Structure 1
Amino acid sequence: MSAIRVLIVEDDPIIGEDIRDMLTSVNYEAVDVAYSKEDAIKVIDNEKLDLVLLDINLDGDYEGFEVAEYINRTRKLPFIYITSYSGKEIIDRAKPTMPMGYIVKPFNEKELFTTIEVALYNFSKFVIPVPLSKDVINAKILTPLTQKEFEILEGLFQGKNNQQLAESQFVSVNTIKTHIKNIYEKMNTHTRSETIAQVNSLLS
């Protein structure tokens, strides 16, 4: 479960599958495609997620905003709006729900991945306003992080995907996956977003 786990909420099956294909091409894990508000909430409640890509206009209504409000009430989980709407009225409704990004259809892979990486980075800074400290974290967990694990943890907070982490550490993607698995075990977490929230708790 070391890949970035993404839920796609999109009522157009063709667009949903296109986004799934884009994600899987760069080592993200598309956990599911939810076609309605109810399906989305069910997946959010039952799956360990890092990010939600959220269509605003579900089933002819602006139910994406309701999903966003549910996330804000129940989870520390970043989401990005994906929508055909770019008018001021919709953007003004979107802003108070605190999305980590806003993508207007049609979009390409580069726009999607750039927005995701910026969103994950900004989310980590939003949740963790103080610098990471290996000593403080290690003092509060049973099994301390190694220096290499801490460096990878820093990369997670910068929104890097597994390939980028591998390149920055000069190791294979499989080695990065092993390190992330060890970090999750030591932090008692299952996803990047859970880990960010856990570190926030430890540093506060």
Structure 2
Amino acid sequence: MPAIRILIIEDDPIIAEDIKDMLTSVNYQVAGIAYDMEEALHCIEKTKPDVVLLDINLDGNYEGFEIAEHINKTRKIPFLYLTSYSGKDIINQAKQTLPMGYIVKPFNEQELFTSIEIAFYNFSKFILPLKLDREVINKLISTPLTQKEFDVLKGIYDGKNNQQVADEQFVSINTTKTHVKNIYEKLNTHTRLETINLLNNLLR
């Protein structure tokens, strides 16, 4: 399946390119880069990203908050703020727009990757929960899931690790790992995040 598609909204071209390099090095796909509010709103509608990385301060104004409000009103996608500001007033203002993350510059690749993974998972799990249906999923994929594989898939979607799934299903950890491998092959995914993303795209 396609990689997670991320839109970067950042008014400093050098920082934007650095972020792009960080994202592509961990196999995300950059849906686009926007440098101001007008371009950002256009890109959100045109590229339909899975996640938005949003600078709060664009062109000397806090236009990131306005973009966030637009996202909340028009599209159900997670966004994370990228900012140099860590003051209490700015954080309180940011909280009102319900971001999935708040990353203070400067940050490194691992911090960015971790923040995106957690943000996307939390958004999928708590903001847009799905009711999984094996018959519906099997109609949408070329190789159907067995009942056991579907049971493991539900565990993946619920955020359980392999040991927790094994305990829940009363099977060994190796059996669970085999089921997970089969699920990835049948869904053409490689990670839990990709799998959750695919389910959201297939079933919404």
Instruction: Say whether the fold is shared (TM-score over 0.5).
Output: yes
- Distance in 1, matches of 2:120 and 2:179, equals 18
Query: Does the CA contact (< 8 Å) of 1:157 and 1:196 recur in 2?
Result: no
| 1:179 to 2:188 alignment | yes
Q: Provide the residue aligned with 2:51 in structure 1.
A: 51
Distance of aligned partners of 1:39 and 1:168 in 2 relative to their CA distance in 1, 3 Å threshold? farther
Name the SS for the 1:33 alignment partner.
strand
- Distance in 1, matches of 2:71 and 2:30, equals 18
- Distance in 1, matches of 2:91 and 2:136, equals 43
- Distance in 2, matches of 1:169 and 1:61, equals 47
Query: Could you say what the CA RMSD is over the residues aligned between the two structures, in angstroms?
Result: 3.3
Note the C-alpha offset of 1:142. Answer: 5.2
Note the C-alpha offset of 1:127. Answer: 2.5
Aligned pairs for 1:20-169 (under 5 A) are 20-129=20-129, 132-135=131-134, 138-139=135-136, 143=140, 146-147=144-145, 169=180
Q: Which has the higher contact order (CA 8 A, sep 6+)?
A: 1
Q: Percent identity?
A: 53
- Structure 1's unaligned 5+ residue stretches are 159-166, 181-191
* Larger Rg belongs to: 2
Name the SS for the 2:32 alignment partner.
strand
Q: Provide the residue aligned with 1:10 in structure 2.
A: 10
Note the C-alpha offset of 1:147. Answer: 2.0
- Distance in 1, matches of 2:128 and 2:188, equals 21
Q: Which amino acid aligns with 1:110?
A: Q
Q: TM-score, normalised by structure 2?
A: 0.73
Query: Does the CA contact (< 8 Å) of 1:76 and 1:193 recur in 2?
Result: no
Task: Kindly provide the CA deviation profile for residues 69-97 of structure 1, in whole angstroms up to 9, marking residues without a partner as x.
Answer: 00000001000000000001000100011
Task: Count how many residue pairs are aligned between Structure 1 and Structure 2.
Answer: 177
Name the SS for the 1:81 alignment partner.
strand
Q: Provide the residue aligned with 1:189 in structure 2.
A: none
Distance of aligned partners of 1:25 and 1:97 in 2 relative to their CA distance in 1, 3 Å threshold? same
Name the SS for the 1:106 alignment partner.
coil
- Distance in 2, matches of 1:12 and 1:37, equals 13
Q: Provide the residue aligned with 1:196 in structure 2.
A: 200
